Structure 1
Amino acid sequence: MPAPSSAARAPAVGATGITERSLAPDLARGAMLLVIAVVHAYLFVAPYYAGGAHSGSLTPLDAVVTGAVTLFAEGRGYPMFAALFGYGLVMVATRQEAAGRGWRGARAVVRRRGWWLLLFGFLHALLLYSGDILGAYGLIALLFAGVLRLAPDRLPVRAGAWLVLGSLLYTAAMFALTGLTAPDPGAEAAPIGPLTDAFIRVSVWPVLTVLLVIASAGPFLVGVWAARRKVLERPERNLALLRRTALVGIPVAVLGGVPQMLVATGLVEVPSSAVAWAFFHLHTVTGYAGGFGYAALVALVAVRLGGRRGPVVTALAACGQWSMTGYLLQSVAWVVLFLPYTLSLNSHVGVAGAVAVGVAVWLATVVVAEAGRRAGRRGPAETLLRRLTYGPRRPVAERAR
């Protein structure tokens, strides 16, 4: 029997052990979850959406917080998340190939992971939150598994094309959807219960999943390229690249977000839909640079820390190791705190209050992850996904045979 077929049938190798993990990717995921929490909490009270009108006046504090979220968080967390997902998939495939499974076996593991993420995403939308990202990453794993073995010099052009095309398509789709779903100002809002809300979430999930794939494909490919160069695993060897990315990416994102910030805070009234479109697209495309800049900044921090890990860094890295569990726990918090049939907290707090709640929810997930780390446990969502992807863990003696 040919060697590739035999390798493809070899048992899948489990995930990287906690003691073998690099600090930079885990630290980046932990920090990224703060950005995600802040943006999700903010969206429950956001005064402005793409193509929409400003909903009213803001208090000075709410205006400052709205501006800060627009410049530093909104549209900046998901690109970093997508890049880290691409980075992680390369590590999954590389680990399988190093164990002798060959490319076909590694690709099978990646795609199996993608199918399960797609299912997790559907259940996440059905039970908890409409803004699901897991399904989009599952679909990316299925559609883009082949790029994991491309030569690094072939990836930048593809990534650049997806960054440009994806941001344009995403902006156009967001404006089209906003026009279709904009509420009638004179209509009375109908009460929403749990079943109606679940139906709405599941109905919009396929559309949002495709949109997020379009928006995330470019950052994903950048993450694949970075993984092929081991940028986060060996940050000390890529200091010049990391410094340029952080020093250029973060300011570009801030400057590119200024027009959208002026609209979101009500300081500027958009004269036409074309201008609103341009502002939103500029905010989106420069957000990619911000996401990459944040990841590079975290990697530089990891280099500076070296082997020193105090309690704060250890807890943040644990949060990164529990990133999927932390992300789902955030969604549980949104259900309890913000939905109209639960506490409906967004009706009683402004933008600043909602963002403070988001920070508190993220801190709670950090505490949970650190407690799990001290107990020697992986995140339950990560454990389930790994078991479904790789199968049950075999005893060491059996793996050695």
Structure 2
Amino acid sequence: MVVPDVARGLALLGIAIANLPTAWLTPGAPEAAFFGSINNVFDQILVVASAMFAHNRGLPLFSTMLGFGVGLIAMSLWRKQFPAKRARQIIIRRYFFLAIFGAVHLIFIFYGDIMFYYGLTGIIIGLLLTVRDKVLAVTSYVVLGIVTTGGLLLLVWGLLSGTDMSAVTEGGRIEDFDTSSYLGLLGFNAVTFVLNFLSYPVYILGYAPIMLIGFTWARRGVLADVPAHRKELSFWAVIGVVYILGIGLPWGLAEIGVLPRELAPTFLTTNLFTGGITGPALLAIFALALQPVQERADRGPKPSVWLQIPMALGKRSMSGYLFQSLAFFVLCYPVALGITPESVSAQVGLAFGVWTVSLILAWLMEAVNMQGPFEKMHRRLSYGSTLQPELHKKGSNKK
């Protein structure tokens, strides 16, 4: 399918732009530096664009696609007549190894890893494999509705009261580690891992609902038959546009001084708490926009090259994500090159450059029909030497 691969490939750009200033340039610092220095009009444009389309946009879209991927695997196993118990075992095993990948990545390279939490949530979704779509959808909408409503009420309260919310985004600093040495960085990452694991229930509230929405969309064939689900997708697309214009735009305008600067922390906080809702919304926008392309692809003709390239990265999204980590580690961390671009333009330019290199590498692998290295390793651990799920466990005498 065109849409899932394009969505994953472009989500990685949003993740790179958001992660560089908030994580790679600030290990051990509060997650407050969402943007670099603003020196000119071009910087101002990039701040507004990043507030609207990057910060807490790529991660929710990626999260929705995680759930969608679990749903595709489930449907594939159903079509191959895997019994529910065996299908559940396969999915749990697959996402257990994703969690292991994430834990290693988090502790040894990047404290802002998401794969560990994706793996844990994938296991939970696997346990819910036989629950009806309607039950999962209602649960997702209720939890997402409560979280979003709470965040919007916080926004209204902040705007009306004039309360300074900068303390919310500046909390969580860990002072006791010298991250200029790799040993200190390992210590910081390990402590962060423990703290993040303890806060996993909060993560569940924010992102598990959109993963379940992606999961049910895959099982219901929402993206496979856009015309039949146009009303639902349009509803989500409207939510996305309203949110981006209502939260992202004023946040960006406050950051550059067009709106009162003291409003920026309020909109930033709201975006942190409620931006997950943009995951399904952005996926719906992609589905509606690319419907003609998908219909042509279903008839046989390949999409144009400008879509095939991000699709190649989307097919290798784990490798693309880990490539970002390795590249930013070498480029930005003080234990390596220690490059620290200051202006918004320089930061976005570096993030875009790293993403572009990953794009080119993925396209070259696509040209020679080569799997992403980490995808292949993950399949090998999950499924064994065949790289495919098997109906019976190894050693079983069942035929």
Residue 389 (str. 1) matches residue 382 (str. 2): yes
Q: Cα–Cα, structure 1 residues 239 and 98, in superposed 2: closer, same or farther, change >3 Å? A: same
Shift of 1:156: 2.7
Kept in 1, the 8 Å contact 2:21–2:36? The answer is no
Extract unaligned runs of 5+ from structure 2: 155-165, 393-398
Shift of 1:30: 1.0
Kept in 2, the 8 Å contact 1:162–1:217? The answer is no
Q: Percent identity?
A: 26
Q: Which residue of the partner structure matches residue 368 of structure 2?
A: 375
Provide the secondary structure at the position in 1 that maps to 2:128.
helix
Corresponding residue to 1:152 among 133, 137, 155: 133
Aligned pairs (5 A) from 1:222-261: 222-261=213-252
Shift of 1:147: 2.8
> What do the CA deviations read for 1:228-276 (whole angstroms, capped 9, x no partner)?
22112222432333233223313322312245334544653438xxx94
Aligned pairs (5 A) from 1:66-145: 66-145=47-126
> What do the CA deviations read for 1:353-378 (whole angstroms, capped 9, x no partner)?
11111111111111111111111111
Provide the secondary structure at the position in 2 that maps to 1:91.
helix
Q: Which residue of the partner structure matches residue 354 of structure 1?
A: 347
CA distance in 1, matches of 2:38, 2:136: 44
Q: Which residue of the partner structure matches residue 3 of structure 1?
A: none
Kept in 2, the 8 Å contact 1:166–1:218? The answer is no
CA distance in 2, matches of 1:55, 1:315: 28
Kept in 1, the 8 Å contact 2:64–2:213? The answer is yes
Equivalent AA in structure 2 for residue 309 of structure 1: P
Corresponding residue to 1:270 among 238, 242, 262: 262
Shift of 1:326: 0.3
CA distance in 1, matches of 2:2, 2:34: 42
Shift of 1:329: 0.2
Kept in 1, the 8 Å contact 2:226–2:291? The answer is yes
> What do the CA deviations read for 1:286-333 (whole angstroms, capped 9, x no partner)?
523432222122222332212241222111111110000000000011
Q: Which moved more, 1:311-320 or 1:159-168?
A: 159-168
Kept in 2, the 8 Å contact 1:372–1:378? The answer is yes
CA distance in 1, matches of 2:111, 2:203: 12
Kept in 1, the 8 Å contact 2:255–2:261? The answer is no
> What do the CA deviations read for 1:179-219 (whole angstroms, capped 9, x no partner)?
342769xxxx9562112112211220233352544421121
> What do the CA deviations read for 1:71-96 (whole angstroms, capped 9, x no partner)?
21101111111111111111112222
Kept in 1, the 8 Å contact 2:237–2:282? The answer is yes
Q: Which residue of the partner structure matches residue 158 of structure 2?
A: none
Provide the secondary structure at the position in 2 that maps to 1:148.
coil
Q: Cα–Cα, structure 1 residues 355 and 251, in superposed 2: closer, same or farther, change >3 Å? A: same
Equivalent AA in structure 2 for residue 58 of structure 1: I
CA distance in 2, matches of 1:51, 1:353: 19
CA distance in 2, matches of 1:285, 1:124: 25
- Paired residues, number: 363
Q: Which residue of the partner structure matches residue 188 of structure 2?
A: 200
Extract unaligned runs of 5+ from structure 1: 1-21
Q: Cα–Cα, structure 1 residues 77 and 58, in superposed 2: closer, same or farther, change >3 Å? A: same
Kept in 1, the 8 Å contact 2:179–2:188? The answer is no
Q: Which residue of the partner structure matches residue 18 of structure 1?
A: none
Q: Extract structure 1 runs of 4+ deviating beyond 4 A.
A: 49-57, 164-169, 174-177
Kept in 2, the 8 Å contact 1:24–1:298? The answer is yes
CA distance in 1, matches of 2:194, 2:79: 36
Q: Cα–Cα, structure 1 residues 388 and 165, in superposed 2: closer, same or farther, change >3 Å? A: farther
